[in-house]
Chains A and B, each alone.
Chain A
Amino acid sequence: MTRPFPLTLLRLAALLCLGAPTAFAHDLWIEKSGQQFTLYQGHRHSAHAGAETMDYGKNFVTAASCFDGRGGKRPLAATSPAPWKASGECAALLITASSGYWSKTPWETKNVPKPQAPGAIKSWRSSESIKRLERWAPPFANPLSEGLEIVPEADPFTLKPGDKLIVQVVLSGKPQANVPVAYHGETRGTTDPQGKIAIRLRHGGLQLISASLEQPLADGKADVEIMAATLQFELPQ
């Protein structure tokens, strides 16, 4: 006699195979000392290898905004361009940045628009943003910008390691489905039709949740725009 029901079921459904793990090129994060914020780029907090910090150039940051607990917004002037530094009292800080246009030819990849790279096989414009939450306020459950942004569904500061945080990925305030989301450089899945995904916080201290989205570009300078957004906050160690 053998059981008439073979019940071993394929667990492929539970697997992610999203490409290459090295595709997450680098992280952005903001460090705070007193009232001074400093923007860094690199791999210090990443799951993957790479230089701890990288030089991003003095034209990298395109805008910085400081938000108070009521959602009020004011520009934040830089005191240094590279690394970007600014001082202020912010409940949340949002920085947008871009390294400009890139074109890949069979021989090299150059930081120029497509028309300046004969034989380009792929070109893109890079846009990035990072939002650092200093404390929770109800307005932060909504987008603070028109760009690609990661919005926590609830106060993340009440969580502890092991808890899950539901975030929503939005662009122009609209939920974005099927967007890959990473925790410290490790992709944990893609957003659902409401743009939401649950991310488990694995440790105390600095938290970095990132998402990226590629969209066609019609400015004649590149094929696509690759947007990346990071949500940063800190929990007790």
Chain B
Amino acid sequence: MKRLMISLLLSPTVALAHHGVAGVGAAALEGPGAPVESASSAVLPVGKTLLYAKLDHAKFKTYDPDPANPESDYANYWMLGLGHGFTPWFSAYFFVPYHVKIDEPGGLDSKGWADVSVMGQIGFKYDGGLKLVPAHESLDDMEDWHFTVFFGSTLPTGNANHRLADGTIDPGKAHGFGKPALSLGVTATKQLTRDITFNLEASTIRFREYRYDDGQTMKFGTENRLNLGLAQRLHSHAEHRLRLDGVLEAQYLQLGRDIENGAPAEATGGRMLYLMPGLRLYKDNMSFAFGIKKAVWTRLNESADQQGAEGKEKYRLVFSASYLF
């Protein structure tokens, strides 16, 4: 048995208390918390499967009131995922995204299934030395530093040459990158107290140049992230198998400049810092997370011309749901 001890039912019951029984009872919902959006150091229990769904709704600031110049209004990034714990320390995931990118009236919208992605995750812990996550950990073991290394790639299943209503190809609104995009990251997680968990993620995504059907080429800029998070248990109810955590994440994002037709593209790239307060609810073997993300500091390369880009959101709402079985 690994970490999922949800289904354990211990023999002594409340009814037996103080009637000659000294049986060890139960812990409430214990263990480290998790951020809303950042990667954590939790690997899946061996043999267990995770179903995952996420919506990232980005509402953009608009600046031009002229209806003749429609701007980006909002985007919905849906994600479905499937994960499996193959060993106590290795999990693999498969994700299918669906993107909706909507302009103001008169603009060019885009909707469609995007590139699927696969990811592997290796879990470590520090307990008198660095070691792979063992098959069995007590709550006290879970208080140790835990780490993961994750790596993955998109697969060019989406239509990178999706043409908009006016017949053009906009790489930013395409349904795929055309070529695999590679991802690499590390996480570190420490349960600081019984109720507070610290989480760190550092990751990068690298894109490759792709030539579209209309002859243009695009290499999206590298995405580097450094995310810090704190999760605090606010409430738990053992009988209802319910736990509620408050989460605060700080997400630093560095976007490289896109390379368009072999030259650095204007109005792309920059650096920004998001803050995201949120909640994570655990119920039985399900988890639901919600967060509101807002850029609190930006240094975009050509900020005035980057409407509809990261860092230019009014807000982002992130919902996710997970089911482990």
* Alpha-carbon separation in the docked complex, A19 to B25 (Å): 7
B139 adjacent to chain A (CB < 8 Å): yes
Chain A interface, number of residues (Cβ within 8 angstroms)? 66
A22–B17 contact, CB under 8 A?
yes
* Alpha-carbon separation in the docked complex, A50 to B22 (Å): 13
A3–B223 contact, CB under 8 A?
yes
Which residue from B16, B42, B91, B121 sits with its C-beta under 8 Å from A14? B42
* Alpha-carbon separation in the docked complex, A190 to B137 (Å): 9
Give the contacts of A19-34 with B (CB-CB under 8 A).
19-28
Can you name the residue of chain A whose Cβ is closest to the Cβ of B181? A4
- Decide yes or no: A4 and B23 within 8 Å by CB, A19-B13, A23-B14 being known contacts: no
* Alpha-carbon separation in the docked complex, A230 to B5 (Å): 23
Point out the residues of chain A lying under 8 angstroms from B239, CB to CB: 20
A218 adjacent to chain B (CB < 8 Å): no
* Alpha-carbon separation in the docked complex, A228 to B181 (Å): 56
B27–A24 contact, CB under 8 A?
no
A178 adjacent to chain B (CB < 8 Å): yes
B265 adjacent to chain A (CB < 8 Å): no
Which residue from B3, B25, B40 sits with its C-beta under 8 Å from A187? B25
Point out the residues of chain A lying under 8 angstroms from B10, CB to CB: 18-19, 23, 180, 187, 212
- Decide yes or no: A212 and B12 within 8 Å by CB, A8-B35, A12-B322 being known contacts: yes
Point out the residues of chain A lying under 8 angstroms from B243, CB to CB: 15
- Decide yes or no: A11 and B33 within 8 Å by CB, A4-B95, A4-B114, A226-B16 being known contacts: yes
User: Quick one: CB contact mask for B291-325 with A, threshold 8 Å, 1 for yes?
Assistant: 00000000000000000001000000000101010
Point out the residues of chain A lying under 8 angstroms from B45, CB to CB: 13
- Indicate the member of A2, A14, A186, A211 with the most B CB atoms within 10 Å: A14
Task: Tell me the minimal C-beta distance from B190 to chain A in angstroms.
Answer: 12
* Alpha-carbon separation in the docked complex, A1 to B17 (Å): 57
A7–B150 contact, CB under 8 A?
yes
Can you name the residue of chain B whose Cβ is closest to the Cβ of A24? B25
Which residue from A13, A16, A188 sits with its C-beta under 8 Å from B29? A16
Point out the residues of chain B lying under 8 angstroms from A3, CB to CB: 183, 205, 223, 225
* Alpha-carbon separation in the docked complex, A178 to B320 (Å): 32
A187–B42 contact, CB under 8 A?
no
A84 adjacent to chain B (CB < 8 Å): no
Interface extent on B, as a size class? 35 or more
Which residue from A2, A19, A126, A180 sits with its C-beta under 8 Å from B77? A2
Task: Tell me the minimal C-beta distance from A23 to chain B in angstroms.
Answer: 3
* Alpha-carbon separation in the docked complex, A12 to B32 (Å): 9
* Alpha-carbon separation in the docked complex, A22 to B16 (Å): 10
B138–A15 contact, CB under 8 A?
no
User: Quick one: CB contact mask for A205-228 with B, threshold 8 Å, 1 for yes?
Assistant: 000001111100000000010101
A226–B5 contact, CB under 8 A?
no
A13–B16 contact, CB under 8 A?
no
Point out the residues of chain B lying under 8 angstroms from A4, CB to CB: 95, 97, 114-115, 117, 154, 177, 181, 183, 205
B209 adjacent to chain A (CB < 8 Å): no
Give the contacts of B83-117 with A (CB-CB under 8 A).
83, 91, 95, 97, 99, 114-115, 117
B275 adjacent to chain A (CB < 8 Å): no
B68 adjacent to chain A (CB < 8 Å): no
* Alpha-carbon separation in the docked complex, A226 to B15 (Å): 14
Give the contacts of B136-162 with A (CB-CB under 8 A).
136-143, 150, 152, 154
Can you name the residue of chain B whose Cβ is closest to the Cβ of A26? B22
Task: Tell me the minimal C-beta distance from A90 to chain B in angstroms.
Answer: 22
- Decide yes or no: A164 and B141 within 8 Å by CB, A20-B26, A186-B27, A224-B11 being known contacts: yes
A214–B44 contact, CB under 8 A?
no
- Indicate the member of B42, B79, B140 with the most A CB atoms within 10 Å: B140
A197 adjacent to chain B (CB < 8 Å): yes
Point out the residues of chain A lying under 8 angstroms from B172, CB to CB: 1
A212–B24 contact, CB under 8 A?
yes
- Decide yes or no: A214 and B11 within 8 Å by CB, A4-B95, A5-B205, A16-B30 being known contacts: yes
A6–B52 contact, CB under 8 A?
yes
Task: Tell me the minimal C-beta distance from A2 to chain B in angstroms.
Answer: 4
A17–B238 contact, CB under 8 A?
yes
Which residue from A104, A182, A213 sits with its C-beta under 8 Å from B15? A104
B42–A25 contact, CB under 8 A?
no
A interface residues with partner B (beta carbon < 8 Å): 1-28, 50, 99-100, 102, 104, 109, 111, 122, 124, 126, 128, 164, 178, 180-183, 185-190, 192-193, 197-200, 210-214, 224, 226, 228, 230
Given A24-B17, A24-B24, A189-B140: 9 more A-B contacts, CB < 8 Å: A4-B114, A7-B201, A18-B5, A23-B24, A23-B26, A99-B20, A178-B8, A199-B138, A200-B143
Query: What are the 5 tightest A-B residue pairs by CB atom distance, in nearest-first order?
Result: A23-B25, A189-B138, A7-B39, A214-B11, A11-B34
Show 10 residue pairs from A and B whose CB-CB distance is below 8 angstroms, ordered by the A residue. A4-B95, A12-B6, A12-B322, A15-B6, A15-B30, A17-B6, A19-B13, A200-B140, A210-B24, A212-B24
